[in-house]
Chains A and B, each alone.
Chain A
Amino acid sequence: MTALAKLFRATAFRLALAILAVSSVGAGVVLAIIAWQVVAVVDEEIARTIDAEAKGLTDAFNHDGLVGLYSSIEARKRQPGASLYLLTDPAGESLAGNVEQIPLEVLERQGFIVVNYRTNGPGDRVRQALVRIYKLPPGFLLLVGHDLGDRARIEGVMVRALAVSLVFFAALAALGALFVARNVLKRIDDINTSAQGVMAGDLTGRLPVSGSGDELDRLAESLNAMLKRIGVLMQGLREVSDNIAHDLRTPLTRLRNHAEAALAYGDDPAAYRAALEKTIEESDALIKIFNALLLIARAEAGGGIDGQTAFDLAEAARAVADLYEPIAEEEGVDLAVDIDAPLTVRGNRELIGQTIANLVDNALKYGAMSGRHPGDPKPSIVVSARRVGDAVELVVADRGPGVPPEDRKRVLDRFVRLEGSRSRPGSGLGLSLAAAVARMHGGRVELADNAPGLRVRVILPAEHAPPALPAPVSGSVHEPVAG
């Protein structure tokens, strides 16, 4: 848990750094733009002031000549917050003003320029000013300028603002990280703890939901719904295995009884042998049940099957019908196959053959036992198959008592045998196996009324490719070889 806590703290720290970096860059850019704009406005203001002053001074020069100009400069330079003035004669000698030193070449330049200068008053230091040079006849130069101290002050203000906002953002980032750590990460941590409880085997455990309805809540709710579904499935599985255990008890008890009988008949070899034969028979039946259960379980797990080939369903069905034909005849049942043309399906011929065999076996066992119906010369079973759109439909229909509508789903379940069938041999797995095989192939089994009788439809997806050379799943190895 401490490692996890460390990770959370690391996450929060990284988050804080990210917030800080992003917001300071943002603030820096914004402040820089504002500073640049403000400086431009200030410069413009200063330039206007300089132009206005120069106009006043040239007016004085035009009216009263050099004397007027001189006295104007002298008067103005004494005012507080004064501008800069410098008047030079054609020889370049300073005649009036308050500028001590200024690079001479400046005087040759046109327009507004930024220069360094020294005032000739107290507090003697280099300062910056915006100046402009005006030419007065016959050769005097008048420099008017304004100190740029204001501009520097604004820049200072901006830098301070940046510093202050950085501090502010750092605090904000820390708060954000704290919030995330407290709320989001803490909740993820809680969810994690609960999930570990579930993993440890407590399937009734649920993830905490804060009630805020945010993404985390939605995630937790989805996961909780999933847990609930898993719980239901587990419950179902438990019931199925309970049922299996229950249903296996009967044959196992019989097996045990036969073995016990064998012991009891110890001195009569014939009876001993018979009891042992019964025991073997019973265990063979159990093995068959297990194999069927395994196959059904596999179908339920949803895995497909290997060993799929394209084969002719008509041939497979005919082989089964042929297998059962003598028995049907012995029982006085008409077993007819009504399939024309090859019907190519893709799948496992073995399993589908077994399915057909199960259905024919049922039809013989249950469909024929009730004997004749008025109008029916003979109990009959029809195995038919045809293509219906994208599917191949195989039907085994009899004219016996049928299965009542309310039981038609139920009999597909494991071990379900209807009232009145229990006297006949069987374990109630024939139809479940048929349904499982159909499902493995992406199809299904449906029971319907054959009026009278039962009509079992096995619906399988048809092979799409044109029937090439339908090959049986196996058996090639057993081709008769002369010896």
Chain B
Amino acid sequence: MRILIIEDDRDAAAYLTKAFKEAGHVVDVAHDGVTGYDMALEGGYEVAIVDRMLPKMDGLTLIGALRGQKNETPILILSALGQVDDRVKGLRAGGDDYLAKPYAFSELLARVETLARRRPAGAPEETVYRVGDLTLDRLSHKVTRRGEEIVLQPREFRLLEYLMQNAGKVVTRTMLLEHVWDYHFDPQTNVIDVHVSRLRAKIDRDFDAPLLTTVRGAGYMIRDGAR
């Protein structure tokens, strides 16, 4: 995946470059807003990571300008202070996701990888998700595994839906909290864990091939032939 990092802090940029490369991605870096804007316009990036405070052109202006040019590169905003207003402003300016510094790299990686998946725009939405022998029908809200129906609570259904939508990708606890409960605050870690283990009990317990796995220090992933 080609990632553009627009970050003026050279240490942070170097660290991110190294970490993303280790995760198997191709990274370009811009150290100021204007260069970053030009590079993003040239296109070809699947995701851009934009720091809010940038020399020459600040992050929000840059995003607004890109969107004004009909450039739809998914953008993740990084901000120094994790304040609520900031996130709202960032998303309003046209950002697709938001992460406050300091963050865990695993969190950033997971978010960037799911962001890239949002494309291509305009593709018809799938109505049935399939992972191995597990299927989820988004219209009838029916979940079956190996043909057997599994009864889920509405919240469990949305949890599974989000995991399956991002099948094969790591989904962090905060991402789950955001998409299933629509909250962005830092949860007590085990709050989400209990929900996931309940879901796991329903979809995995009676089957020999587990699909839902815990990714240590990062989050969860659903995929065929896990473990």
Query: Which residues from chain A sit less than 8 Å from chain B, CB to CB?
Result: 277, 280, 283-284, 287-288, 291, 294-295, 305-307, 319-320, 322-324, 326-327, 330, 348-351, 353-354, 357, 361, 472-475, 477-478, 480-483
Contact of A305 with B85 in the complex, beta carbons under 8 Å: yes
* Chain A neighbourhood of B91, CB < 8 A: 474, 477
Given contacts A354-B185, A474-B184, A475-B178, contact A482 B84 (CB under 8 A): no
Inter-chain contact A327/B194, CB cutoff 8 Å: yes
CA distance A477 to B76 in the complex (A): 12
CB contact under 8 A between A287 and B102, given known A294-B83, A322-B181: yes
Let me know if B125 and A482 touch, CB within 8 A. yes
**A280, A474, A483: residue with the most chain B Cβ atoms closer than 10 Å:** A483
Q: How far is the CA of A280 from the CA of B187 in the complex (A)?
A: 16
8 Å CB interface, B56-90 against A:
81-85, 87-89
Among B81, B89, B127, the residue within 8 A (CB) of A294 is B81
Number of A-B contacts (CB under 8 A): 93
A327-B191, A327-B194, A330-B194 as given contacts; A482 in contact with B123, CB under 8 Å: yes
Q: How far is the CA of A354 from the CA of B183 in the complex (A)?
A: 8
Our pick among B83, B102, B124, B178 for the contact of A478 (Cβ within 8 Å) is: B178
Closest to B82 in A: A291
Cβ of B25 within 8 Å of any chain A Cβ, yes or no, is: no
Q: Given A327-B194, A482-B126, answer yes or no on A307-B88 (Cβ-Cβ < 8 Å).
A: yes
| B161 and A350 within 8 A (CB) | no
Compute how far the CA of A20 lies from the CA of B84 in the bound complex, rounded to whole angstroms: 65
* Known A-B contacts A481-B118, A482-B126; A324 and B184 likewise in contact (beta carbons under 8 Å): no
Q: Is there an interface contact between A483 and B117, defined as CB atoms closer than 8 Å?
A: yes
Q: How far is the CB of B176 from chain A (nearest CB, A)?
A: 10
Interface size class on chain B is: 35 or more
Smallest CB separation, B177 vs chain A (Å)? 8
* A residues less than 8 Å from B204 (CB atoms): none
- Chain A residues with CB under 8 Å of B117's CB are 483
Chain B residues in contact with chain A, CB under 8 A? 81-85, 87-89, 91, 95-97, 102, 104, 117-119, 123-127, 155, 161-162, 165-166, 177-179, 181-188, 190-191, 194-195, 198, 217
Whether the Cβ atoms of A483 and B88 lie closer than 8 Å is: no
Distance between B110 CB and nearest chain A CB, rounded to angstroms = 14
B127: chain A residues at CB < 8 Å are 482
Closest 4 CB pairs of A and B: A482-B125, A307-B88, A306-B85, A326-B194
Q: Which of chain A's residues have a CB closer than 8 A to the CB of B165? A: 480-483
- Residues from chain A with a CB closer than 8 A to the CB of B87 are 474
- 13 of the cross-chain contacts (CB-CB < 8 Å) are A307-B85, A307-B89, A322-B181, A326-B195, A473-B88, A474-B87, A474-B182, A475-B178, A478-B179, A480-B162, A480-B179, A482-B124, A483-B165
A353 touches B125 (CB 8 A): no
Kindly list chain B residues whose C-beta atoms are within 8 Å of the C-beta of A287: 102
How far does the alpha carbon of A324 sit from the alpha carbon of B155 in the complex, in Å? 12
Candidates B88, B179, B183; contact of A319 at CB < 8 Å:
B183
Bound Cα distance from A353 to B124, whole angstroms: 34
Instruction: Please measure, in the bound complex, the distance between the C-alpha atom of A481 and the C-alpha atom of B123, giving whole angstroms.
Output: 10
Q: In the complex, what's the smallest C-beta–C-beta distance from B63 to chain A, in angstroms?
A: 12
Most buried by A among B124, B177, B181, B182: B182
Given known contacts A348-B84, A480-B161, A483-B165, what 7 new A-B pairs fall within 8 Å (CB)?
A: A288-B186, A294-B81, A320-B181, A353-B183, A474-B88, A482-B126, A482-B127
